[in-house]
Amino acid sequence: MVSGIHRPTKIIVDTQAITENVSQEVARLPKDRELFAVVKANGYGHGAVEAAYSARRGGATGFCVALLDEGIELREAGITEPILILGVVEAMYIELLLEYELSVTAATQEWLEEAQEILMGISAEKQLKIHIKVDTGMGRIGFLSIEETLIAVKTVQEAPMMVFEGIFTHFSTADEIDPAYFMKQETFFNEIIERLPQRPRYIHSENSAAALWHPESPGNMIRFGIAMYGLNPSGRTISETYPLKPALELKTALIQVKELPQGSGIGYGKTYVVASPKEWIGTLPIGYADGWLRHMQGFYVLVNGEKCEIIGRVCMDQCMIRLPGYVPNGTEVTLVGKNGGEVITLQMVADQLSTIHYEVACTFSQRIHREYK
């Protein structure tokens, strides 16, 4: 998809905010603990490469992605630090993992055996760096028992072309108030670590929520995602340990302004009809194809520090707002971020859409141009 550089709609990313969020967390960490910045899904919509460089300036010493392609993107952009792929990569792509020196997650014995077989057919000098994933209660990927995990560790240790680089798990309720299930997962993971015949370079369990609210969790590395973008992992449930600085703003400008008489219909299905004798209506060049979804109807944007309701259905490329009066064409419009004394946060957009801010940030499509400051 092309990125629309010739229109006023853009995401503005404050790279300094990312750097500060990371450096605040790094400063809190015990001496022996590193921070890997999670930049999967195009850096949660902020731009993977720029997010990675901003996090590195803040003290990140490695990176996590979800897909092989996301790892390759970082390498091609000149990132030389360790990169871990958190998702499962099909074993047939092992040569690419070696070529780009990407660390990979092993989640089943079957995968390890297939990988070993493929590695034996390759005459490469490099070794495949493996992080063993333990499923302590997320129910997603990973080894399910201590016995299975120890067999996996042994398999990796005995394979001449594999390196046991890490072991990790993922918490499913670190962002909740009740710690009971979290503690169950933590106990399970600690038990496994104690039974390891040899400690790998990296042991890790914390996502952003665990890093903020359970900083004593096992490991010597954290996988810091949503919080580096300045967003509270729990949404509104638990308050932030230290102030996080949101990095993303979404702006556009009015492309048509008109005064319409009572009874005029706005948008598909005529779901909004001008009620007053006259109303000033503005059109914005952003729509659901940009990730500004149809359910944003009824919410508002900011123009000159004032809230303006989104009226009528959101179209694919455009949407309409009701203005308090005449405003010139080209006036800046804030969809996410500060404008005058007002602010619209990703959390507020998420509330409107009955979802979480993670999803809102990832939903902003490639069509929106990203600008960095």
Ligand X SMILES: *Cc1c(COP(=O)(O)O)cnc(C)c1O
Neighbours of 40 (CB within 10 A): 19
Tell me how far, at minimum, the Cβ of 370 lies from ligand X, in Å.
19
What is the spatial distance between Cα 131 and Cα 86, in angstroms, rounded to a whole number? 9
Looking at 11, 39, 68, 86, which residue binds ligand X (CB under 6 A)? 86
- 281 scored as a contact of ligand X (CB under 6 A): no
Looking at 39, 156, 226, 311, which residue binds ligand X (CB under 6 A)? 226
Residue nearest to ligand X (CB): 225
- 38 scored as a contact of ligand X (CB under 6 A): yes
Question: Tokens 């409107």 correspond to what residue?
Answer: 352
Tell me how far, at minimum, the Cβ of 105 lies from ligand X, in Å.
8
- 357 scored as a contact of ligand X (CB under 6 A): no
Point out which span in 17-25, 110-118, 219-227, 276-284 binds ligand X (CB under 6 A): 219-227
Cβ distance to ligand X smaller for residue 65 or 281: 65
Cβ distance to ligand X smaller for residue 8 or 142: 142
Helix (H, G, I), strand (E, B) or coil at 288: helix
Active-site option among 10, 40, 129, 133: 40
Tell me how far, at minimum, the Cβ of 275 lies from ligand X, in Å.
43
- 218 scored as a contact of ligand X (CB under 6 A): no
What is the spatial distance between Cα 178 and Cα 182, in angstroms, rounded to a whole number? 8
What is the spatial distance between Cα 335 and Cα 342, in angstroms, rounded to a whole number? 11
- Strands annotated E in the chain: 10-13, 34-38, 62-65, 83-85, 103-106, 128-134, 162-169, 202-206, 221-224, 248-253, 256-261, 265-266, 272-273, 278-284, 300-303, 306-311, 319-323, 332-339, 342-344, 369-372
- 251 scored as a contact of ligand X (CB under 6 A): no
Q: In terms of DSSP H, where are the helices of the chain? A: 15-28, 40-44, 48-57, 68-76, 94-99, 109-120, 146-158, 180-195, 208-213, 346-352, 357-363
Active-site option among 242, 268, 278, 326: 268
- 131 scored as a contact of ligand X (CB under 6 A): no
Provide the mask over 143-182, with x wherever binding to ligand X is found by CB under 6 A and - wherever it is not: ---------------------------x------------
What is the spatial distance between Cα 309 and Cα 68, in angstroms, rounded to a whole number? 42
Point out which span in 26-34, 203-211, 258-266, 287-295 binds ligand X (CB under 6 A): 203-211
Looking at 136, 208, 234, 345, which residue binds ligand X (CB under 6 A)? 208
What is the spatial distance between Cα 249 and Cα 336, in angstroms, rounded to a whole number? 5
**53 catalytic, yes or no?**
no
Tell me how far, at minimum, the Cβ of 228 lies from ligand X, in Å.
8
What is the spatial distance between Cα 1 and Cα 43, in angstroms, rounded to a whole number? 17
Residue at 352: amino acid letter = Q
Cβ distance to ligand X smaller for residue 81 or 342: 81
- 233 scored as a contact of ligand X (CB under 6 A): yes
- On whether 316 is known to bind a ligand per the annotation, the reply is yes
The single-letter DSSP state of residue 103 is E
Looking at 24, 207, 232, 297, which residue binds ligand X (CB under 6 A)? 207
Tell me how far, at minimum, the Cβ of 364 lies from ligand X, in Å.
16
Q: How many residues bind ligand X (CB under 6 A)?
A: 12
> 279: which strand partners?
260
Looking at 223, 251, 322, 357, which residue binds ligand X (CB under 6 A)? 223
- Asked if 230 and 42 count as a contact pair (C-beta separation under 8 A), the reply is no
**40 catalytic, yes or no?**
yes
What is the spatial distance between Cα 251 and Cα 129, in angstroms, rounded to a whole number? 42
Tell me how far, at minimum, the Cβ of 306 lies from ligand X, in Å.
33
- Annotated catalytic residues are 40, 268
User: Under the rule (CB under 6 A), what is the footprint of ligand X?
Assistant: 38, 40, 86, 170, 207-209, 223-226, 233
